[in-house]
Structure formats: structure tokens, C-alpha cells
Amino acid sequence: MLEAVSLTAARGDRPIFIRLGLRVEPGQAVHVTGANGSGKTTLLRILAGLLRPESGEIRWNGCAVAASRPLPDSAYLGHRNGLKAELSALENLRSACALYGCRTDRAHLQRVLAQVGLAAGADTALGLLSQGQQRRVALARVLSSGAKLWLLDEPTTALDQSSIRAFEGLCEHHLQSGGMLVFANHYPLRLVAARMRELAIPAIAARSQQEAACWIRS
């Protein structure tokens, strides 16, 4: 289980969000929403251990996680794919799996690429793939991690409708298997309604700094 307790973040001396609370249990997905600049990316980066909050605490299975430390059993995908253009799709995946401590054999990696519709492009240099195909390789990296918690920032960027539907199916399977998902996207993923919740981050200017907070709507 993931919990964020009274998280506050700032950019310089300007608060982004104040006293944010979040709880995600196995089988649940949380869609982070808010206006541009409201702190969606900041929140995901804090949860991933890439940024330090001004205050507050992150807990994993009831235990506090030190600020700026990666969450155990989690995989993060940001706006950028974080891949090397000169390596093939399979080589990029193998490199990531080596870091995750996961299987790196070719048969396994090809199965993962097949899940995102890229079995035929396994040995193609990433730089020769389309933007949508590159994004699918990045999503395959998340799949290959075996992580319980996925932290995804605009995961459907550059994907066509068929790829989005396929990705939604992968997310659904992840949740059915007891996984967790926290994501920011321009629109909700089509998942089973009972699994989906929304974390709405209000614009800080719309409320006083003392009252600004975030809430989850079921």
C-alpha cells in the first residue's frame, strides 16, 4: 500500500500544493488531475523519489520512506522515455531489466515487447522507430520491471487509439493481479470503475495557502 501524508511542494518560494493526502491499495488506480502547473508531475516525481517535498511523509506498506529515496517495488515513467536511440528496442529493455534485477533473456524480453505490439521491431534501433513505437518501448520497460506500483506521467503520449486500448488492457491486468497505478493523463484510462479514483489538485491561487489542499474523489 502507498500513502502520502500531508505532502507540501514548492517551486522556489512559491507553493505548488499544500498538505496533499493520498492512499492507494492493491488493485487500485489513481488518476491525478489538475490545471497546467498544478503539480501533477511534481507529485509523481516526489513519489518516485526524484524530488524532495518541503514537508510530509511517504509510506510504503505502513513504513516511512526517506525523502528522495526510490520507493520499493515501483517503476516510474516520465514525459521523456529515458531510452537510448542507438540501442535496439530489445537492448534498451535488457539494460533496464539489468537495473531492475529482472530477467534479461531474449525470449522473455521478446514476450514483453509483444505485449506492446513490438515483437517485430525488437532488433530495430530505437532512433528508427516512430514516436509512438518509442513510447511503447518505454511502457514495455515498466512492464518488464515486475513492480507492484506504476507511476506514469502522460503514459499515452504519442500513442494511437489502438495502442491506447491495448495499454488499458495491460493496466487492467496489472490491477487484477494486485498491482497499483498512479498516473497523470489528459483523460482517464478506461478501467473498471470500482478500481479508479481521482486525485484532483486545485490551483493554489484559487484558495488561501492555509486552506489549499488536495482531495480524492471516488
Q: Which residues in the chain land under pLDDT 50?
A: 207-212, 215, 217-218
155 and 139 both lie in a single domain = no
119 and 207 both lie in a single domain = no
155 and 54 both lie in a single domain = yes
2 and 64 both lie in a single domain = yes
1 and 66 both lie in a single domain = yes
Overall domain count for the chain: 2
141 and 186 both lie in a single domain = no
Summarised one tens digit per residue, pLDDT across range 69-109 is: 888 899 999 999 999 999 999 999 999 999 888 899 999 99
Q: Taking the alpha carbons of 114, 190, 171, 82 in that order, is the dihedral positive or negative?
A: positive
68 and 5 both lie in a single domain = yes
- Quote the domain boundaries for residue 66: 1-73+151-217
> Does the global pTM surpass 0.75?
yes
